[in-house]
Structure 1
């Protein structure tokens, strides 16, 4: 199994367990993402985004609302003001050994380790939007994510992630 950590820092030699600011109820851990979900991190760290996927549980009305005009099974929506930062960013994908990791959230592809982890490899990643489109992911831009967030939370869409929403523009 391939596990990754994405960063804008190309100099990380060791990942030390730490308390995540949004998970202060947890002990210090090292976070990783599996290969299947790694695309959700093809964005600068603080870039707010909403990722959602097709599933059998979506009713017809929500299917039409969220997927009616795309053949893609995955849609990522980002605020328009992040376009240049995404286009210009170089991210660094650290490949991590899976031996000390355990599943934290299988649906999201998150893994955690309570131990210090040394990366096996680091690869610079550019051309994020092209990579996503090559994966047949529908990438959308909107001036503000709040309406989409409310629509997703009040829908039958059950496979979604709302990333860095604290960085989204206010309504």
Structure 2
């Protein structure tokens, strides 16, 4: 599930939203009110239950041979094994938007934001089988007992990485 050219997506477990209004997210690190969306490259970051903690890493041109070998795949999304059942059963929906209403956010950009209310281009689309999406996109879905060892390794590597909802992860092991 990715946006078509000229579109961005917002993923939600709520299929009843008809208009998206800018708001300050509870987890926001910036004060602005936004409607959040993602492009083709970042859509896989959201193929998860909303509250699922995930650590993601991928190879980029500057990645060393050692880090490529350690990762073992072009892109890996790691979750704690306790979330697997929810990965299999969560009903996730994608809302499509005209990308013209959004601007890139972050340096480098990792999302797109709108500062005015926006209406989806149509009804939300069921995303379907979340593990199968990963498989079809050739993204390794890695199960771990605890995310922190994986996260600590990728954040000190030459890999590109992103972490979402890490506050929901199990406590770091001793």
> TM exceeds 0.5?
yes
Give matches, 1:42-121, under 5 Å: 42-67=47-72, 70=73, 73-105=74-106, 107=108, 109-121=110-122
Residue 140 of structure 1 aligns with which residue?
142
Residue 18 of structure 1 aligns with which residue?
23
Change (3 A) 1:91 1:106: farther
The Cα offsets for residues 26-78 of structure 1, whole Å up to 9 and x where unpaired, read as: 210100001222111110001011111111212222222122xx4xx211111
Unaligned runs of 5+ in 1: none
1: CA distance, partners of 2:108 / 2:95: 21
Unaligned runs of 5+ in 2: 1-5
Q: Secondary structure at the match of 2:66?
A: helix
Count residues in correspondence.
Answer: 166
The Cα offsets for residues 103-152 of structure 1, whole Å up to 9 and x where unpaired, read as: 11375541001000111121011211111101111111001001011111
Aligned 8 A contact 1:37 1:108 in 2: no
Q: Secondary structure at the match of 1:99?
A: helix
Change (3 A) 1:169 1:56: same
1: CA distance, partners of 2:161 / 2:155: 9
2: CA distance, partners of 1:82 / 1:108: 28
Cα-Cα RMSD: 1.5
Q: TM-score, normalised by structure 1?
A: 0.91
Aligned 8 A contact 2:155 2:161 in 1: no
Once the 2 structures are TM-superposed, how far is the Cα of residue 7 of structure 1 from its aligned partner? 0.4
| 2:44 counterpart of 1:39 | yes
Once the 2 structures are TM-superposed, how far is the Cα of residue 23 of structure 1 from its aligned partner? 2.2
2: CA distance, partners of 1:132 / 1:107: 24
